[in-house]
Amino acid sequence: MIYPTPRAIQLTALAAPVALALGVLRPAAWVVAPLWIGAMLLLILADALLARAPADAALPLPATLNVGEAVTLHGADRAVAIDGPLERVAPGRYRAVRRGRAHLRRVWARASGPLGLAWRQRSARTTDSIAILPDIRPVRDQGMRQFLNSQSAGQRLRRDHGDGQDFQVLTEFQPGMERRAIDWKASARHAALLAREFHSERDNMIVFAVDAGRAMTDPVGDMPRIDKAVSAALLAAFVALKSGDRVRLFSFGARPQVDSGSITGTRGFARLHHAAADIDYGTDESNYTLGLVTLDTRLDRRALIVLFTEFTDPTSAELMLAAAQRMLKRHRLLFVLFRDTELEAMRDAVPTHADDLVRANVAHMLLRDRAIVVERLRRMGAEVIESAAEAMPLALVERYVAHRERGR
């Protein structure tokens, strides 16, 4: 297709004021205007014929982008139609603003003639996409240092016996052993205090389950809770893969979303990282029953399920507790909650007006209800991490390392 350039349109439009001026000064010279327009049309056509054929409309794209990174998708000779989590910051340049996938719908390629009056243009539909991934670089180095520190002092992460769940041998109880390791029946038979030693578990199954419901899209700090959760999950998953465990990434909202399947080895981390881009931002309430039951049916062995979630009302909390009770019959559960620093600030602020007292009272009641739910989780046997968003990734890695050391 042939299109006039802005320069050609401006030069053609000059015919109107010229014709008006000539019509006032020398009416007989009005014919110059249509002759000018005709000449411009001929020049545009000639320029189009002299223009080289446009390049192929295909556009080389990066496979992935981290949140916050910018990319140049086209220049003066290309244009794109794109939708998704990309924000235009300059002509042809876009910045990734959140996780997800940016989809290209159409690409235009054009070539201008030597006079700059016409473009020859072609376009093509495309189904290409760019995965926008969470940026874990700010905490990755700290997490790796913590992992390496945990392997020091006798390689405690890989000791052959001591704690764990795989029974190895009975041994005489020694000072420093945990009392829960005492085998009372064997001690009674042998008239000596005996303790059980276990092989530490290897090849554990760790599932990072991310609640993608409405409550998790609320911001904490400068980004939604779900983005903070995904970044923390990926960091802990990398450490788990380095430790030799199996890792799975699962998400659910009103219905199950992403399931990466079981992944082993650090080479599989890229697959996990890409799966995180498909965790969507939900607008509906989370269906804990459907999400966790679906996950349970897909697991063929006992697992540590790390559940990132948020609850905002008693109804959703009760549904979450009921689903957790069922999961604890077979699996271990670790709930990960972000501290609501905004509510804590309202509760602790010194009031200066009556409205401040109302806000502080409401914040106190909400935080009290939250503390009750957390205590109920702990009483039924689940573990809970409640931390500020900035400290969450390393807090989760620390808890995972503690699980590995205890063999629990």
Is there a domain that residue 62 lies in? yes
Is there a domain that residue 38 lies in? yes
The pLDDT of residue 191: 80
- H helices within 3-126, ranges in order? 6-13, 15-25, 32-50
pTM above 0.75, yes or no: no
Query: Tokens 């992935």 label which residue?
Result: 64
The pLDDT of residue 151: 54
Is there a domain that residue 164 lies in? no
Is there a domain that residue 165 lies in? no
The pLDDT of residue 169: 63
Distance CA(30)–CA(25), nearest Å, equals 10
Residue type, 225: R
312: nearest Cα among 214, 212, 227, 232: 214
Q: Mean pLDDT of residues grouped by 10 in the chain (408 residues)?
A: 77 76 72 79 81 68 83 72 85 85 82 78 81 74 61 42 51 71 80 71 86 90 86 90 92 94 89 89 91 94 94 86 94 94 89 90 91 94 92 89 71
What is the extent of the structural domain holding 174?
170-199
Is there a domain that residue 8 lies in? yes
Residues 6+ apart with CB under 8 A from 94: 70, 71, 72, 73, 82, 86, 87, 88, 102
Say if residue 309 is in the same domain as residue 248. yes
Say if residue 126 is in the same domain as residue 151. no
404: nearest Cα among 255, 205, 181: 205
Say if residue 304 is in the same domain as residue 373. yes
Which phi and psi angles does 136 have, rounded to 5°?
A: -105, 10
Distance CA(325)–CA(205), nearest Å, equals 20
3-state secondary structure at position 2: strand
Say if residue 77 is in the same domain as residue 216. no
Say if residue 185 is in the same domain as residue 220. no
The pLDDT of residue 157: 38
Is there a domain that residue 358 lies in? yes
Residue 230 is part of a domain; what is its CATH number?
Answer: 3.40.50.410
The pLDDT of residue 321: 95
Domain count along the chain: 3
